[in-house]
């Protein structure tokens, strides 16, 4: 989402980094460029004005920190101000009550139902036993959609009886209390636009169930309109936080950079994909680092730890050291890599990777991983265990079976051999103590 803004900000700040001295004119010129970049990213104009004013005042009036050049100091100031703009620090959920209630609100089409399922899955990972409550009785099949999502993440769904959504929500809270479940995630009705009936219904539901959290689900692709929606919802219910969906999309990012400043409410989660595991806690400092091309190693490590099992990693490490890494292992690692998110997202978390991609443009095509997996699935068990036996006739058979070409089979085998060689070298280097333990084989020690 932030690719265009990130590229422009990095280009602006790159021109300042190496300078030993900066005049007020140079700082003012850089701030004008930053202002234009933010406006082009669809950031609210009032937010832009105040942000640039703070950066310029600090850049001109603040003394240079030891070991930083004036240019580096400006970069630090922009990073700090971006972090403040995004909410300063990650804000958690209030899960202290029993059973606890989370009211999900937002417009129709913003991803509220799917996000309810994602949040339920996230809460499960935290050791909770959530209950989904289907109170969207306006949209056809909305209740069934929530039930299906609940089944996919292994969370029960309360459907209730009758046509009063407020009564259904209250009954769901009662069932959660009786069965030791919680928190209750209430999926409310939405509209294609804000109207008095919707707001009255939400206000009545808030009064009836007394939620600890009221989370506004906003589609980040809607730009500044998302900020206007947030402001209007805040007048009807006590919003405690925001969940931005489609943060992996190609919109300009104005909503993410404006909503906290305008509403005074933090972004608590970000939807970063369609799959039900694609929900991240929103960390303002990490997002600011990503925007400025500094990477986000901490999130990368957390995603890797979630995708890779320690016992399986140790077994694979042993196989590497014994030179027994085969195509079964390779296919398994590709599948785990897919669990960490899109390759674009992963590359964006590596410090300096965005600048490298600009110097050496490359296409990151997620379909390539699927084609490679299809090729391996067309092989026999013997061929996957011993790829060296794959000759010309076998390549042609594998290509026919996977709907690919012999050239694509060759490409896969080349990628496999390169990865086997690289991982074997890393395993050997770590064993000899030439690498720190937290580095080593990608995906295992990270």
Q: How high is the pLDDT of residue 361?
A: 46
110 and 28 part of one domain: no
Same domain, 258 and 374: no
Average pLDDT for residues 334-341, to the nearest whole number? 63
Quote the CA–CA distance of 198 and 67 in Å, as a whole number.
56
Predicted local confidence at residue 185, as pLDDT: 97
Clarify whether residues 127 and 269 are in a common domain: yes
pLDDT of 17 strictly over 90: no
The mean per-residue pLDDT over the stretch 136-144 comes to 87
User: How confident is the model over 100-115, as a mean pLDDT?
Assistant: 92
Please check the confidence at residue 337 and state whether its pLDDT lies above 70: no
- Burial environment of residue 125 by CB neighbours within 10 A (0 to 12, 13 to 18, 19 or more): exposed
For residues 276 and 413, membership in a common domain is answered with no
CA–CA distance, 253 with 70 (Å, rounded to integer): 28
pLDDT on residue 122: 95
Q: For 416-440, what is the mean pLDDT?
A: 56
Predicted confidence at residue 320, as pLDDT, reads: 60
Residue of 283, 288, 301, 281 lying closest to 346 (CA atoms): 301
Is there a single domain that holds both residue 276 and residue 332? no
Annotate 71-97 with b (16+ C-beta within 10 A) or e (fewer). bbbbbbbbbbbbbbbbbeeebebeeee
On whether residue 30 sits in a domain, the answer given is yes
Q: What is the pLDDT of residues 128-139, one digit of tens each?
A: 999 999 999 888
Alpha carbon separation from 17 to 131, 220, 357 (Å, rounded): 51, 32, 20
Q: What's the pLDDT at 363?
A: 46
Decide: 442 and 318 in contact? Cβ < 8 Å: no
pLDDT at residue 4 tops 50: yes
Greatest pairwise CA separation for the chain in angstroms? 72
pLDDT of residue 393: 93
Which whole number is the average pLDDT over 47-51? Answer: 91
Tens of pLDDT, residue by residue over 198-245, are 888 899 999 999 999 999 999 887 777 777 888 888 888 999 999 998
* pLDDT for position 210: 94
Angle 318-324-325 from CA coordinates, rounded to 5°: 85
Residue 19: per-residue pLDDT: 65
**How sure is the predictor about 445, in pLDDT bands with cuts at 50, 70 and 90?**
very low
* Residue 3: alpha-carbon gap to chain centroid: 14
Which pLDDT value is given to residue 126? 92
24 with 116, same domain? Answer: no
Whether the predicted pLDDT of 1 surpasses 70: no
Three-state SS annotation for the chain: CCHHHHHHHHHHHHHHHCCCCCCHHHHHHHHHHHHHHHHHCCCCHHHHHHHHHHHHHHHHHCCCCCCCCHHHHHHHHHHHHHHHHCCCCCCCCCCCCCCCEEEEECCCCCCHHHHHHHHHHHHHHCCCECEEEECCCCCCCHHHHHHHHHHHHCCCEECCCCCCHHHHHHHHHHHHHHHCCECEEEECCCCCCCCHHHHHHHHHHHHHHCCCEEEEEEEHHHCHHHHHHHHHHHHHCCCCEEEEECCCCCCCCHHHHHHHHHHCCCEEEEECCCCCCCEEECCHHHHHHHHCCCCCHHHHHHHHHHHCCHHHHHHHHHHHHCCCCCHHHHHHHHHHHHHCCCHHHHHHCCCCHHHHHHHCCCCCCHHHHHHHHHHHHCCCHHHHHCHHHCCHHHHHHHHHHHCCCHHHHHHHHHHHHHHHHHHHHHHHHHHCCCCCCCCCCCCCCC
* Residue finishing a domain among 234, 263, 294: 294
> What CATH number does the domain containing 332 carry?
1.10.260.30
Please give the Cα distance from 60 to 30 (Å, whole number): 12
Same domain, 245 and 383: no
Residues 23 and 76 in one domain: yes
Shared domain check, 409 and 333: yes
Indicate if the pLDDT at residue 390 is higher than 80.
Answer: yes
Do 174 and 273 have their domain in common?
A: yes
Exposure on the CB side of residue 339, measured as CA atoms within 13 A: 15
- Please state the domain count of the chain: 3
* Same domain as 40, residue 115: no
Q: Are residues 269 and 412 in the same domain?
A: no
For the segment 267-305, what is each residue's pLDDT rounded down to a tens digit? 999 998 888 988 989 988 888 887 776 654 555 555 555
Is 207 inside a domain boundary? yes
pLDDT at 58 (0 to 100):
84
Identify whether 373 is part of a domain.
yes
pTM of the complete model: 0.69
**Containing domain of residue 80, as a range?**
3-85
Confidence (pLDDT) at 299: 56
State residue 224's pLDDT score.
Answer: 73
Output 398 or 356, whichever has higher pLDDT.
Answer: 398
pLDDT for the residue numbered 62:
54
What is the C-alpha separation between 353 and 294, in angstroms, rounded? Answer: 9
Model pLDDT, residue 314 = 64
For residue 2, give the nearest of 199, 356, 249 by alpha carbon. Answer: 249
Using left for φ > 0, alpha for ψ between -120 and 50, and beta otherwise, residue 380 falls in: beta
Burial of 59 (0-12, 13-18, 19+ CB in 10 A): buried
Domain boundary residue, one of 244, 267, 294: 294
For residue 375, the model assigns a pLDDT of: 92
Confidence of residue 446 (pLDDT cuts 50, 70, 90): very low
- Residue 380: its pLDDT value, please? 93
Per residue in 174-186, pLDDT (tens digit) is 999 999 999 999 9
> Residue 255: what pLDDT?
78
With 60 as the cut, is the pLDDT of residue 308 above it?
A: no
């Amino acid at each position: 989402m932030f690719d265009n803004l990130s590229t422009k900000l990095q280009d602006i700040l790159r021109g300042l980094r190496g300078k030993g001295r900066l005049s007020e004119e140079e700082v003012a010129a850089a701030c004008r460029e930053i202002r234009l970049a933010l406006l082009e990213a669809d950031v609210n104009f009032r937010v832009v004005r105040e942000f640039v004013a703070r950066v310029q005042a600090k850049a001109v009036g603040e003394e240079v920190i030891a070991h930083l050049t004036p240019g580096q100091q400006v970069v630090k100031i922009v990073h700090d101000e971006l972090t403040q703009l995004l909410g300063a620090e990650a804000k958690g959920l209030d899960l202290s009550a029993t059973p606890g209630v989370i009211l999900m609100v937002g417009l129709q089409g913003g991803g509220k139902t799917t996000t309810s399922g994602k949040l339920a899955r996230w809460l499960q990972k935290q050791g909770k036993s959530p209950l989904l409550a289907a109170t969207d009785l306006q949209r056809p099949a909305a209740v069934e959609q929530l039930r299906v999502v609940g089944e996919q993440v292994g969370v029960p769904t309360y459907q209730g009886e009758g046509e009063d959504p407020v009564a259904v929500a209250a009954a769901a809270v009662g069932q959660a209390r009786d069965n030791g479940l919680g928190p209750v995630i209430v999926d409310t009705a939405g509209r294609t636009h804000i109207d008095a009936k919707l707001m009255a219904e939400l206000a009545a539901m808030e009064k009836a169930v007394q939620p600890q959290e009221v989370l506004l689900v906003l589609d980040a692709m809607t730009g500044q309109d998302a900020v206007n929606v947030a402001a209007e919802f805040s007048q009807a219910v006590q919003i405690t936080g925001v969940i931005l969906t489609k943060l992996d999309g190609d919109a300009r990012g104005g909503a993410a950079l404006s909503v906290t400043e305008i509403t005074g409410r933090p972004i608590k989660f970000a939807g970063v994909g369609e799959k039900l595991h694609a929900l991240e806690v929103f960390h303002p400092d990490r997002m600011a680092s990503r925007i400025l091309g500094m990477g986000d190693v901490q999130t990368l490590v957390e995603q890797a730890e979630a995708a890779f099992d320690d016992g399986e990693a140790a077994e694979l490490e042993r196989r590497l050291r014994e030179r027994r890494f085969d195509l079964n292992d390779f296919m398994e690692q590709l599948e785990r890599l897919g669990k960490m998110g899109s390759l674009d997202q992963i590359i964006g978390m590596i410090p300096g990777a965005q600048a490298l991609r600009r110097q050496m443009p490359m296409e990151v095509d997620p379909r390539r991983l699927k084609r490679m997996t299809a090729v391996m699935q067309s092989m026999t068990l013997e061929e996957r265990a011993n790829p060296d036996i794959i000759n010309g006739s076998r390549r042609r058979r594998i290509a026919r079976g996977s709907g690919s070409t012999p050239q694509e089979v060759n490409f896969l085998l080349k990628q496999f051999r390169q990865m086997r060689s690289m991982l074997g070298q890393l395993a050997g280097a770590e064993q000899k103590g030439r690498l720190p333990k937290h580095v080593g084989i990608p995906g295992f020690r990270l």
